[in-house]
Amino acid sequence: MSQTARLTVGDTEVELPVVQGSEGERAVDIRHLRERTGLVTLDPGFANTGSCKSAITFVDGERGVLRYRGIPIEQFEQSPNFVEVAWLLIFGRLPNGEEYDRFSQELTANANLDERMKHHFEGFPRSAPPMAILSAMINTLSCFHPEFFELEDSSQLEQAAARLISKVRTLAAYAYRNSRGLPYMYPNPRLPYVLNFLHMMFSLPYQPYEPPDVVRDALNLLLILHADHEQNCSTSTVRMVGSARANLFASCAAGVCALWGPLHGGANVEVLEMLETIHRGHMTPEEYVALAKGKEKKVRLMGFGHRVYKNFDPRATILRRAAERLFTELGVSDPLLDIARRLEEIALEDPYFVDRRLYPNVDFYSGIILRRLGIPTNMFTVVFAIGRLPGWIAHWREQSLDPDRRIARPRQVYVGETGLRYVPPEQRE
């Protein structure tokens, strides 16, 4: 197959190299386009533009495939372990025994916050959005770790990653505890990653929170499924900020801000609100789907559709199974899960969704699981950030090691006024 693309503009014709990825996807390399033709490309939302080469995650939106470092995500479903997947994404392979033990110990040893950081939480209004607190407090964390402003080698990156991945749980839990007027629970060094987070969220000084294994496994799996997704909006943000040589903490804090958007990580909150609106009887699933098809109200069927997946988001399929397993093993039912299933049935038979290839995405079922775990709705996207953090770190590291790395600085097509002159204030209308 041709390894070049020919572009003819007026009298100018250029041949551009075509690069091919390890899964066969191909791209026209346009890095010399402007210098050779004077042209730039225009691609709103970068739907057709590859920003980099990456070996971390592969997504095939047509076939509904998602692989972390070459491993299909379905293979993490049986005995989900978020810590080993975090290592896999960041360092490129599953950890051996020594690496796993060392990283786990680093996570345990670094779960606590500097006592001075606790006062920051009291400075926020009780109603402060947890994502605002999280992004602020990740940057605050960097003030206590100036040694990580410049990461010289893999060992330093591992230590910085361990601090971020460990402390993000504590930051999230303390933001929640402060909003409820509850005492902070110190991390318990005897608990593994997910159980320690749930302990800090829900234990009381006189009453430890000890959930069943099915809860531990559900949250491990949910974090794994959120851990990375190639060049999504928040990961591209982390890369963009990191490309300026901003430190890892600042780059991840920026990722939190991007993830907060309701079209991105904030969708899981919107899904729950949508399901609760229907559950409260304000409208039937059929009426809501009809509303989402109309354009006047800008209502969308939240948790449906995806820029890349034009087939089932494999994460949604796994999360639906996990939700059913969780409710069965807990011996409970949830009307919202029934409503979600009904919405899915209706949409998948409706030409509006079928023709646009809109299927359930990762957010469609995740909120139902989080709600059952007791996580409040306004903390859903924070849990998404806890899951996505290893992916952000992996991409920040991959970019920092890339010999081709340059500061990200896209071009534009200017369409504003031309040839105007300055008008002194007294002459203005």
DSSP string, 285-342: HHHHHHHHH-STT----TTB--SS-SS--HHHHHHHHHHHHHHHHHT---HHHHHHHH
Quick one: CA dihedral 5, 39, 230, 349, positive or negative? negative
How is residue 187 annotated by DSSP?
Answer: P
Contacting ligand SDX within 207-246 (CB under 6 A): 229, 232-233
Q: Which residue type occupies 40?
A: V
d(CA 112, CA 138) in angstroms, rounded, equals: 14
Question: Is 302 among the residues that bind ligand SDX (CB under 6 A)?
Answer: yes
Q: How many residues bind ligand SDX (CB under 6 A)?
A: 22
Contacting residue, 63, 116, 282, 307, with ligand SDX by CB under 6 A: 307
d(CA 307, CA 236) in angstroms, rounded, equals: 14
Which position has the token pair 């990456």?
A: 54
User: Catalytic one among 313, 334, 363, 395?
Assistant: 363
Which position has the token pair 């993000």?
A: 168
Minimum distance of ligand SDX from residue 48's CB (angstroms): 12
**Closer CB to ligand SDX, residue 45 or residue 351?**
45
Binding mask of the shown chain, residues 250 to 279, with x at each position contacting ligand SDX by CB under 6 A? -------------xx--x------------
Minimum distance of ligand SDX from residue 358's CB (angstroms): 5
In this structure, are residues 255 and 366 in contact, taking their beta carbons and an 8 Å threshold?
Answer: no
d(CA 148, CA 154) in angstroms, rounded, equals: 12
**Closer CB to ligand SDX, residue 201 or residue 269?**
269
**Closer CB to ligand SDX, residue 33 or residue 308?**
308
Question: Is 362 among the residues that bind ligand SDX (CB under 6 A)?
Answer: yes
Contacting residue, 161, 164, 201, 301, with ligand SDX by CB under 6 A: 301
Contacting residue, 216, 239, 306, 395, with ligand SDX by CB under 6 A: 306
Task: Kindly tell me the burial class for residue 149, based on how many C-beta atoms sit within 10 Å of its own C-beta (0-12, 13-18, 19 or more).
Answer: middle
Determine whether 306 is an active site residue. Answer: yes
Question: From the CB of residue 128, how many other CB atoms can be counted at a distance below 10 Å?
Answer: 16
Binding mask of the shown chain, residues 313 to 352, with x at each position contacting ligand SDX by CB under 6 A? ----------------------------------------
User: Catalytic one among 306, 313, 334, 395?
Assistant: 306
Contacting residue, 120, 300, 310, 325, with ligand SDX by CB under 6 A: 300
Determine whether 199 is an active site residue. Answer: no
Contacting residue, 254, 272, 292, 316, with ligand SDX by CB under 6 A: 292
Stretch that binds ligand SDX, among 61-69, 300-308, 334-342, 365-373 (CB under 6 A): 300-308
Contacting residue, 130, 255, 305, 314, with ligand SDX by CB under 6 A: 305
Q: Which residue's beta carbon is nearest to the bound ligand SDX?
A: 305
Q: What's the gap between Cα 32 and its chain centre?
A: 32
Spatial CB neighbours of 138, under 8 Å, sequence gap ≥ 6? 164, 168, 171, 249, 252, 253, 256
Contacting ligand SDX within 18-77 (CB under 6 A): 45
d(CA 227, CA 244) in angstroms, rounded, equals: 24
What residues make contact with ligand SDX under the rule CB under 6 A? 45, 229, 232-233, 263-264, 267, 292, 300-308, 356, 358, 361-363
Active site residues: 306, 363
